[in-house]
Amino acid sequence: MSRAERLLELMQCLRRHRHPISGAVLAQTLGVSLRTLYRDIASLQAQGAEIEGEAGVGYVLRPGFLLPPLMFSPAELDALTLGIRWVSRHTDPELAQAANNALAKIGAVLPADLREAIAATPLLVGPTDSPADLPANAHGYLPVLRRAVRSEHKLDIVYHALSGEQTERRVWPVALGFFDRVRVLIAWCETRQSLRHFRVDRLLSVHELDERYPQRRQVLLKLWREREGIARPQ
């Protein structure tokens, strides 16, 4: 691994961890000595990277620093291209367009050979059959759901449960889950006073309120992960 590649990998290691990571762990990950690691960190700091470190705690990278040019390994490009193509095929038009724009922006800053690798990737996204009862406007709710999740605004929804019951709920949208056949809204339900799952294809109406809910979304998401036994992403 060249020094340039090592510096890029060091940045990636720091980006993957939201909390401080020890110098020993970083050095082991990169396969270098602590002395080399310290030199590499000093070099990145000299280039403007806000890497903060404390003895016994570790190093953390503050956001806002990029190392140009943007480079990816063949496997990383395959992963990005496959993920973006899945989004462009299996979500609403707004998110699909955003995915295509993102892929175009990535391609614009890559060398010619890597741009060709994106077009020639052998990983393809196949069609997914929609459920027979999928309403024609089901995908139309996704933009407002995403907006409400980001803004932490309450939603009034009308939901057709699998039991056949039709209910009106006021919910606090926390996250959206994308599965092969269904999309699921994770939300705090004021009626049930607990976190609930709502299939997007069974929503009959969605209305975003101007009112923000009183709890922070990250707190609710943490509560949901603990309830479901899902580890926090690194």
Q: Are residues 7 and 48 in the same domain?
A: yes
Is pLDDT larger for residue 4 or for residue 8? 8
Number of compact structural domains in the chain: 3
Kindly state the percentage of the chain with pLDDT values over 70: 85
Please write the tens of the pLDDT for every residue from 161-201: 888 899 999 999 999 998 877 889 999 999 999 999 999 98
Cβ-contact 199, 158 below 8 angstroms: no
Q: Are residues 43 and 97 in the same domain?
A: no
Burial of 186 (0-12, 13-18, 19+ CB in 10 A): buried
Amino acid at 172: W
- Which residue range is the domain that position 97 belongs to? 74-119
Please state, as a whole number, how many other Cβ atoms lie within 10 Å of the Cβ of residue 88.
Answer: 19
**Average confidence score pLDDT of the chain:** 84
Q: Are residues 151 and 208 in the same domain?
A: yes
Could you tell me how far CA 6 lies from the centroid of its own chain? Answer: 25
C-alpha torsion angle, residues 102, 104, 106, 110 (rounded to 10): 180
131: pLDDT strictly greater than 50: no
| pLDDT of res. 1 | 65
Please write the tens of the pLDDT for every residue from 85-121: 889 888 888 998 999 888 888 887 777 777 777 877 7
Give the global pTM. 0.63
CA atoms of 115 and 112, how far apart (whole Å) = 5
| Length reported for the chain | 234
CATH of residue 38: 1.10.10.10
Q: Are residues 57 and 78 in the same domain?
A: no
| pLDDT of res. 36 | 92
CATH of residue 193: 2.30.30
| pLDDT of res. 214 | 94
Residue 51's nearest CA partner among 70, 74, 26 is 26
